[in-house]
């Protein structure tokens, strides 16, 4: 009998937090680019503007909210996807078909996206704060302070502002990341050329990151605008219409920094996850 290790339910959240600590500055720049009403600065220019205006540490504004988001959104979607996948794989004595992986990824992403919406909204606001004039800044001390203040000042419903887009984006990202990663890894290992090692994990996660970036960018732009709004949008349709006035490419504003952020985040997440599984996973014996 061979020994196989599977993830514990919380490994996805832990791995995502590790990746977020490395890629947070890229996420912050992406948010700044997406919330521009007109294209004034590109990625490098925006990064230099933030550093000159607020200092290097400003690139980590909102890190506590980002980690809070990963421990709600990412933990939930990984927990659902990996738990159900491992259960079905064990029952069927083989890997799931790709369409089942897509459906499972979409469900896990929808659930995780909804649960992580409050932390995601605070994350967007804290990241965007540094580019606002001092009089307009919200100045949340940390993620918990932001959540409490939104609840007290704007109501519980505001905590879930943009939940529909966050859930939809979560579904697309999870399909692009988890489902495509599993399938890419299965195909790479199926060639017999490569073994289950870090190089395989890197290649599969690189493919998954590219798929996730392309699938979710339009939803990510609308979600960011909704969460950062101060009441100027009546809902998702109004935000979509307003964004469309800037042209079709407005939905892919920040695509390059989004890819530069999401692809490394995906690669690091799966490398961390595979190492956690290898060293601390639950042992299963398979015939």
Dump pLDDT digits (tens) for 173-227. Answer: 999 999 999 999 999 999 888 999 999 999 999 999 999 988 888 877 777 777 6
Orientation of helix 43-54 relative to helix 11-34, angle to 10°: 90
Q: The whole model's pTM is what?
A: 0.82
- 235 pLDDT more than 80: no
What is the structure's pLDDT at 46? 77
- Report how far residue 64's alpha carbon sits from residue 48's, in angstroms, rounded to the nearest whole number: 23
Q: Which H or E run includes 94?
A: none
pLDDT tens digit sequence for 83-105: 999 888 888 878 899 999 999 99
Q: What is the average pLDDT score of the chain?
A: 85
Beta strands in the chain (DSSP E): 2-6, 282-286
pLDDT grade, residue 16 (50/70/90)?
very high
- Hey, where are the domains in the chain? 2-286
The CATH H-level (homologous superfamily) assignment of domain 2-286 is Mitochondrial carrier domain (1.50.40.10)
pLDDT tens for residues 115-161?
999 998 888 888 778 777 888 888 888 889 999 999 999 988 888 88
């Amino acid at each position: 009998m061979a020994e196989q290790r599977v993830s514990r339910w919380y490994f996805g959240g832990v791995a995502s937090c590790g990746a977020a600590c490395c890629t947070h500055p890229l996420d912050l720049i992406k948010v700044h680019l997406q919330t521009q009403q007109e294209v004034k600065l590109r990625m490098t220019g925006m990064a230099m503007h933030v550093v000159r205006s607020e200092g290097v540490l400003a690139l980590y504004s909102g890190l506590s909210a980002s980690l809070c988001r990963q421990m709600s959104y990412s933990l939930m979607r990984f927990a659902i996807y990996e738990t159900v996948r491992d259960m079905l794989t064990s029952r069927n004595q083989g890997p799931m078909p790709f369409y089942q992986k897509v459906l499972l990824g979409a469900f896990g992403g929808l659930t995780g996206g909804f649960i992580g919406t409050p932390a995601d909204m605070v994350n967007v606001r804290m990241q965007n704060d540094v580019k606002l004039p001092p009089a307009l800044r919200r100045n949340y001390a940390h993620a918990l302070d932001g959540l409490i203040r939104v609840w007290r000042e704007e109501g519980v419903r505001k905590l879930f502002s943009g939940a529909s887009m966050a859930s939809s984006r979560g579904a697309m990202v999870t399909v692009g990341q988890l489902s495509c990663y599993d399938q890419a890894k299965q195909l790479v290992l199926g060639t017999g050329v490569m073994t289950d090692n870090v190089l395989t994990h890197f290649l599969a996660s690189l493919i998954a990151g590219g798929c996730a970036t392309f699938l979710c960018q339009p939803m990510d732009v609308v979600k960011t605008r909704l969460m950062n709004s101060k009441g100027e949008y009546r809902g998702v349709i109004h935000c979509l219409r307003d964004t469309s006035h800037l042209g079709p490419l407005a939905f892919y504003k920040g695509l390059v920094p989004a890819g530069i952020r999401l692809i490394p985040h995906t690669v690091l997440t799966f490398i961390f996850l595979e190492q956690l599984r290898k060293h601390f996973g639950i042992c299963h014996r398979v015939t």
